[in-house]
Amino acid sequence: MKTRLVLSTCILGLSIFLSSCSKSNRFKIDTTKNRVEVKIHRFDKDMLSLDTANMKAGLKKLYAAYPEFLSAFATNILDTTATDTQAISHLFYKYLTDKTFAPVNKKTLQTFQDVSDIEKQVSDAYTYIHHYFPEVKLPEIYFYVSGFNRAVMMNDKFIAISTDLYLGSNYPAYKDYTYEYMLYDMRRECVATDLVSTTLFRMFVMNSSQYRLMDNMLFRGKVMYLLSVVMPNEKPENLMGYTPEQWKWSKKYEKEIWAAIIDQKDLFSTDVQLIRKYMNDAPFTAPVSQESPGRLGTWIGWQIVKSYMEKNTQISLTDLMKDNNYQKMLEESGYKP
C-alpha cells in the first residue's frame, strides 16, 4: 500500500510537471522544419570598404548591388536623391575620410565582421513568425552606417539597422552623442532582438478608438508576449531592453507599480503626455518612481498579457493579436501582482 501511494504521488508530480512544461511551451516549434533563412544585406560593409581614390567605380558597384536600398538611404540619411550621384559621391567621400569617424568605421567593421550568429537568431524568430502568421511577407534585412544619425530605417520591403550604433554600451564616442540611459541597449547583443521586435511592431498596429493608457499598455504587452514566443531562448530582460538590475527592480516592486497606476487613476487616462511618460523610453517612469526603469507601462502590459494567456490556454496567437478588447483582456487575465 505504501509503495502504491509513493508511486501514485510520483505519477501525480510527474503529471503536474509535464502539464506545467506543456503549458509554458505550448507555442514551441521545431525551427529546423520549414525554416526561413535570413541573409543580411551588408550595405554597411560595402560602403565602408569603398576606395576613396576611386569613388566613381565603387559607387557604380554599390548602385548595382543595392538599387532600392540606396535610394532610401540617400533620402533618409543623406537628405538627397539617389539620382544625384555627384552629391552622394561627395558625401560618401567626406564621411569616409572624416578623422572623427575613421575609428568608428574601423570598430564597426571589426564588431560586425561575422554576422552569422545574428542571422541565425533572426532566422529562428522569422521561422516562428512564418509558422504562426504565414500570410505575412517578412522583410529583407539590411545593415548600414549613419554616422550616429538614425538607428532604424524601414518601409514595406525592408528593415535596416545602423550598425555603428551597436558598438557597445561603453564605447567612448557615444557619450557625446546620446543619453546615458540609452547606452545599455547600444550593444551588438541587442541587434537581433531589435530587428525582430521592429518586425513585430511593423506587423501589428494598435487599433483602439479610446486610446487609453490601458489600451497602449496591453497592445505593447501583446507584442512583447509574441516577442517572447518567437525568441524563446532570450532572457526576458534582454527582450525588454532592461539591465538585470532594472528587471529585478520591476519584479520586486510589481505590486507597488500596479497600485500606483490604479491609485493615481492613470489606467483609463487618455492624456497623451501621461501615456508617453509610461510608454516612451526614458531614464525612469516618472508617474511611478525616479528609481524605476523607463517604459514600465509596456512592462506591466506584458505581465498582464502573460497572465491572460496562462489562464486562457485555448487562445491562439492569432486570436491574441486580433483582439482589441483590452478591457475584457484585463478582466480575464486575473492579474494580481
Give the count of domains, the chain: 2
**The last residue of a domain, from among 202, 233, 253:** 202
Mean pLDDT for the stretch of residues 81-103: 94
User: Could you give the count of Cα atoms lying within 13 Å of 238 in the half-sphere of its Cβ?
Assistant: 15
In this structure, are 141 and 245 located in the same domain?
no
**The last residue of a domain, from among 136, 169, 202:** 202
Q: Which domain holds residue 193?
A: 41-202
The answer to whether 220 touches 211, Cβ cutoff 8 Å, is: no
In this structure, are 189 and 321 located in the same domain?
no
In this structure, are 197 and 71 located in the same domain?
yes
In this structure, are 239 and 308 located in the same domain?
yes
In this structure, are 129 and 244 located in the same domain?
no
Of all residues in the chain, the percent with pLDDT exceeding 70 is 93
Q: Residue 1 pLDDT more than 70? A: no
Asked whether residue 21 is domain-assigned, the answer is no
Asked whether residue 24 is domain-assigned, the answer is no
Q: What is 68-130 written as a DSSP string?
A: HHHHHHHHHTSSS-TT-HHHHHHHHHHHHT-TTTHHHHHHHHHHTS--HHHHHHHHHHHHHHH
Asked whether residue 215 is domain-assigned, the answer is yes
Asked whether residue 189 is domain-assigned, the answer is yes
* Confidence grade of residue 24 (pLDDT, cut at 50, 70, 90): low
In this structure, are 196 and 220 located in the same domain?
no
pLDDT digits (tens, 9 = 90+) for 296-329: 999 999 999 999 999 999 999 999 999 999 999 9
In this structure, are 222 and 181 located in the same domain?
no
Q: How many CB atoms lie within 10 A of CB 179?
A: 11
In this structure, are 329 and 293 located in the same domain?
yes
Tell me the whole-structure pTM to 2 decimals: 0.91
HEC sequence for 184-253: HHCCHHHHHHHHHHHHHHHHCCCCCCCCCHHHHHHHHHHHHHHHHHHCCCCCHHHHHCCCHHHHHHHHHC
In this structure, are 186 and 211 located in the same domain?
no
In this structure, are 219 and 300 located in the same domain?
yes
Asked whether residue 9 is domain-assigned, the answer is no
In this structure, are 152 and 229 located in the same domain?
no
In this structure, are 178 and 260 located in the same domain?
no
**The last residue of a domain, from among 202, 233, 259:** 202
Of all residues in the chain, the percent with pLDDT exceeding 90 is 89
Q: How many CB atoms lie within 10 A of CB 276?
A: 13
